Amino acid sequence: MKFNYLVICATLFICSNLSSQETSTPKFGKGLFNLIGKDSSFSMNVSARMQMLGTSNWDVNNGLSNPTSNLLVRRARLKFSGFAYSPKLKYKLELGLSNRDIGKASSFTNEAPKYILDAVVKWNFSGNFVLWFGQTKLPGNRERVISSGDLQQVDRSLLNSRFNIDRDMGFQLRHHFNLTEKFIVKEMFSVSQGEGRNVTTGNLGGHQYTSRIELLPFGKFASKGDYRGSDLKFEPAPKLALGFTYDFNNDAVKNRSNQGSYMTTDTGFYSTNISTVFVDAMYKHKGFSVMAEYAYRDAEDAFAKNSDGTLTGDEVQVGNALNLQTGYLLSETLEISGRYTNIDWDQNITGKGNETQYTLGLSKYILGHKLKVQTDVSYLNLTGGTNELLYRLQVDIHF
């Protein structure tokens, strides 16, 4: 709680000292205010957003029995972004204040509560080359990199929650070039710590290496639409983005690469090499959109073992997943969407049954993604488990 108070006080301090800078009030959804140094040596955009979510669950196996419900602040965040010294040196700081944003401290001493989401600087040191340093999202699956405020449905799919590589601390090198006048190629490479965000002491395993290439054969999407859900810009001509990612986590100590739980033995932590592959696509045209993703995870030795060779019960979550999602805007502000997700676990390793989820969504965009109401209903089929029906309603507002 002390941290939350400090963040609020710092924001109020900035507001109370605006006289020392040139300020302007952006349009709704473009930030609370902009700061520009009198000597133009820096800029800062300050913004805030929140999501209020209500959910209801039913056990389908027993005739919609055992209903549960929950109301919560799903996300509450502050974001600061701009440039420092030169427009070629940009930065982003994003803080999560809700319980779901923060999570909890691990039982291990090297992991603290996760207040910081992003803390990264981006240096455009030459031409189309940009070097990133700090904590931010790795260039993994498309759905994860799409902001949670720009999603087509209430939240991301099961593929993302089971396989994504999320955020980490390290370096990223990014570059893009044109093959033809329209055909754009984007390349990304990162070296990171390999244990996720907000690790505070040391590095228990090895390092994580991520490579991604993206192909945009028909040119740029309007307003970076290749990383926003829904075709709110009603692309007049077809637009397509294809992405391919390979991630290698050397001596990973968590059971989902840099995510999940630490794997332990009677002598300490268990580590193994984990590889993750993502293939994804985004297509948009005249209010119609399709996003498709495939994920695959494997490990050199998936089973954690004690010094005597016995299994500890910890194992890498090996398997693959497919997510297909589509939407159509009935008007400029109303959209229907559908999603199919299948998780195919390696049952010989994980002991888990497959998961298949079907989701039907409805979104009302009052001011695009900056002010919207979204609702969806999902049916989850678990092999050997309890099938569930889930209803969600969410209000999303960005200042």
Q: 18: closest CA among 3, 1, 38, 4?
A: 38
Per-residue pLDDT of the chain (399 residues; tens, 9 = 90+): 455 555 555 554 455 454 445 456 778 888 888 999 888 899 999 999 999 999 999 998 888 878 899 999 999 999 999 999 999 999 999 999 998 888 766 666 566 678 899 999 999 999 999 999 999 999 999 999 999 999 999 999 999 999 999 999 999 999 999 999 999 999 999 999 999 888 877 678 889 999 999 999 999 999 999 999 999 999 999 999 999 999 999 999 999 999 999 999 999 899 999 999 999 999 999 999 999 999 999 999 999 999 999 999 999 999 999 999 999 999 999 999 999 999 999 999 998 989 999 999 999 999 999 999 999 999 999 887 789 999 999 999 999
How many residues comprise the chain? 399
Alpha helices in 179-282 (DSSP H): none
The whole-angstrom separation of Cα 162 and Cα 160 is: 6
Q: Give the pLDDT confidence score for residue 213 in this predicted structure.
A: 98
Q: Give the pLDDT confidence score for residue 19 in this predicted structure.
A: 45
Tokens standing for residue 192? 């990171």
The distance of Cα 286 from the centroid of its chain, to the nearest Å, equals 26
Helix (H, G, I), strand (E, B) or coil at 243: strand
Give the contacts of 127 (CB within 8 A, at least 6 positions apart). Answer: none
Tokens standing for residue 214? 């993206």
Q: 1: closest CA among 107, 99, 76?
A: 99
Q: Give the pLDDT confidence score for residue 106 in this predicted structure.
A: 65
Give the CATH superfamily of 49-77+134-398. Answer: Porin (2.40.160.10)
Give the contacts of 126 (CB within 8 A, at least 6 positions apart). Answer: none
Where would I find the beta strands (DSSP E) of 330-387?
A: 334-345, 355-365, 371-382
Tokens standing for residue 52? 């209020």
Give the contacts of 316 (CB within 8 A, at least 6 positions apart). Answer: 252, 255, 256, 263, 272, 274, 297, 299, 302, 349
The whole-angstrom separation of Cα 314 and Cα 256 is: 11
Domain range summary for the chain, segments of one domain joined by + = 49-77+134-398
Degrees (nearest 5) of the Cα angle 281, 283, 289?
120
| Cα dihedral value 188, 189, 192, 195, nearest 10 | 70
The whole-angstrom separation of Cα 26 and Cα 33 is: 6
DSSP letter (8 states) at residue 61: T
Q: 140: closest CA among 327, 250, 277?
A: 277
Give the contacts of 223 (CB within 8 A, at least 6 positions apart). Answer: 233
Q: 315: closest CA among 328, 327, 301?
A: 301
Contact 26, 34 (CB under 8 A): yes
